[in-house]
Chains A and B, each alone.
Chain A
Amino acid sequence: MTGQVTGERITATPAARHAIGRLRAARAAPVMFVQSSGCCAGSVPMCFPAGEFLTGPGDVLLGEIDGCPFYIAAGLDRALGHPSLLLDVAPGRPDGFSLGPGPRLRFVTRPAAEAATTSPPLPG
């Protein structure tokens, strides 16, 4: 965990925090998030057991949500203009090797400007 802290540029909706709480409780351990990029399921926040994904000096820590760190690759952060992100949940399935927030749900990130205005209703 050598990623640089650049300040709190990640916030989470109540639904995302609730999901993180459930993941933590189920695993009795924190999780971590890494913003992805590129083909197919790019632009998606991937969620892993904390420590599963090795971060390095080329990764930026955007902040922590209830003790769970959120990283982005520094190059991607620069290319995207150092965005502030909002972590939310949406219907669907988790991509890649990501943990999901619950049945038929996945984590998503949105521009932080959308905070508190757009959290789609959760099914079930």
Chain B
Amino acid sequence: MKYVQPGQPGSIVAVEPRYDNFIGGKWLAPVAGRYRVNLCPATAGAISEVPESTPEDVELALDAAHAAKDAWAEASPAQRTAVLNKVADAIDERAEMLAVTESWDNGKPVRETLAADIPLAADHFRYFAAAARSEESSISEIDKDLIAYHFREPLGVVGQIIPFNFPLLMAAWKLAPALAAGNCSVLKPASPTPWSILKLMEVIGDIVPPGAINVVNGPGGEIGKALATSPRIAKVAFTGETVTGRLIMQYAAQNIIPVTLELGGKSPNIFFADVMASDDEFLDKAVEGLVLYAFNKGEVCTCPSRALIDQSIYDEFMGRCLDRIAKIRQGNPLDTGIMLGPQNSAQQLEKISSYVDIGRAEGAEVLTGGKQPHIGGQFTGGYFYEPTVLKGHNSMRVFQEEIFGPVLAVTTFTDEADALAIANDTLYGLGAGVWTRDGSRAYRMGRAIQAGRVWVNCYHQYPAGAAFGGYKISGVGRETHKMMMEHYTQTKNLLVSYSPKPLGLF
């Protein structure tokens, strides 16, 4: 089925001509009165106007968050849990509307937003609702009369800067643990995807207390920096590229506050020869596992963008994968039959195209794709790129740098040690995939790969409850797990003496 594009008669998504910031539970126009047009990546046409905010708007959001933080911190776990569960229920109730909105704002196919982004976002709030409800502090009996009480206390107001590739899901990843732990947030969406989070606030804005969530849109160089450098935040969380990650750490150092960072990867997806031992459902799953590089048009920090295939099965296995890739349907992201939508922006498209040219110049062989498709109609100006496979070797730039598009770099290995060496020969350590019918080999490889998440006989699953985060330069901290509650709290120790006796020193 095809959803009607937002704003058109018959669409399930209403579009206002202009949106404002969401601050203190209200829609506030940006102080300087500046707006810009937000473009749809599928058509390069306008969706609506969004604020081009200035640091004054960040200050208003911080004012609102600080005004709200004491009451929210003092809300009982049961009260916080109830709010987060209501948020999840509201997302579920409006799932289809949010899925279409997300697809139109980002370009991702609606089959993905319906199946993954939106249900996962709702589930994330539910998971952290449960985490909040079941939090327990600890007591240590130092000796008979000296007791150490450990309480987890909220940090206060946190700054959260999210990326354009999963605008709603990344908002949920960041907001749910922050709120569960009793904090208030000032959230800056990515500049290319300012809209879907505002539609989310239309859905959940009345459920959370005013000031608990504040959303400010605008240029990173102005408001992202204003937020990250503010002495009024107690923590900053960021997902994006490495230079901004370093800069955020630097600003955090100046304020002596903690950071969590997720900065990308160049994830290996390793296929051992035994995946072809039988022509069965598992082999079919492994073929799909390789083709998952095209999930969300490759705009995923954990995109399995390096396929390492045992040389003894390369021809037959890659042949099956290329057949599957040839069946990828590309076009209108609002068509549930479409698997590959447009890249998020013209500049992303240009970068991808430039990397494929770099690959060609380095001698990589283009096995499929390598150009923009002709989609036609209203999508002629959209930022589409064909699913592409480059064959080469791991020292090529296209194997080393994150392309952030539907571009797979494929190479072969000779044995397990070779596979491991290639897998770890990268600056990054976010994700990895291992495909084998040999459980012992899967375990050995899983433990030896230097990455925070190793998928074994699966890929691109992001359930709440499985910790996600990077080794090496891929970042600091772990999301999507209740350990995130520690990243959003600080420990208060009450050390209490129940003894009447003096120390006897003075």
Contact = CB atoms under 8 A, between A and B. Distances in A.
Interface stretch (A4-12, A61-69, A105-113): A105-113
A43 interface: yes
23 contacts: A36-B243, A37-B243, A37-B427, A38-B263, A38-B265, A39-B165, A39-B240, A39-B265, A39-B402, A40-B299, A41-B244, A42-B242, A42-B264, A44-B351, A53-B246, A76-B427, A83-B397, A92-B350, A94-B220, A95-B241, A96-B224, A97-B224, A100-B221
A40 B191 contact: no
Interface string B345-383: 111001100110010010000000000000000000000
B351 A43 contact: yes
Given A75-B427, A79-B426, A39 B239 contact: yes
Contact of B400 (A40, A54, A79, A108): A79
A28 interface: no
Interface in B256-306: 262-265, 299, 301
Interface residues of A, number: 39
Contacts of A92: 345-347, 350
Contacts of A41: 240-241, 244
Contacts of A111: 358, 361
Interface residues of B, number: 49
A80 B163 contact: no
A91 interface: yes
A75 to B, nearest CB: 5
A76 B191 CA distance: 26
A22 to B, nearest CB: 15
B473 A90 contact: no
A100 B262 CA distance: 24
Interface majority SS (helix, strand, loop, mixed), chain A: loop
B142 interface: no
Contacts of B139: none
B225 A42 contact: no
A34 interface: yes
A9 to B, nearest CB: 15
Contacts of B403: 43
Nearest to B250: A54
B173 interface: no
A40 B397 contact: no
Given A38-B263, A94-B221, A98-B220, A43 B401 contact: yes
B242 A37 contact: yes
Interface string B416-432: 00000000001110000
B350 A90 contact: yes
B169 to A, nearest CB: 14
Given A46-B244, A79-B427, A96-B244, A39 B263 contact: yes
A98 B347 CA distance: 15
B220 A95 contact: yes
Nearest to A98: B221
Contacts of B350: 90, 92, 108
A44 B243 CA distance: 9
Interface in B203-237: 219-221, 224-225, 228
Given A36-B244, A81-B397, 8 more contacts: A39-B241, A39-B263, A40-B404, A43-B355, A48-B247, A92-B347, A93-B191, A95-B220
Contacts of A44: 241, 351
A87 interface: no
Contact of B347 (A38, A106, A110): A106
Contacts of A110: 354
B241 A37 contact: yes
B395 interface: yes
B449 to A, nearest CB: 17
B345 A96 contact: no
A19 interface: no
B190 interface: yes
B221 A40 contact: no
B244 A97 contact: yes
Interface string B386-421: 000000000101001111100000000000000000
A80 B219 contact: no
Most buried by B among A83, A93, A99, A100: A93
B174 to A, nearest CB: 15
B170 to A, nearest CB: 10
A94 B228 CA distance: 17
Given A37-B427, A53-B247, A42 B402 contact: yes
Contacts of A20: none
A91 B346 contact: yes
Contacts of A100: 221
A73 interface: yes
Nearest to B225: A97
B301 A53 contact: no
Nearest to A41: B241
Most buried by A among B163, B241, B395, B403: B241
A80 B396 CA distance: 7
Contacts of B241: 36-42, 44, 95-96
Most buried by A among B228, B240, B397: B240
B22 interface: no
Most buried by B among A35, A40, A52, A99: A40
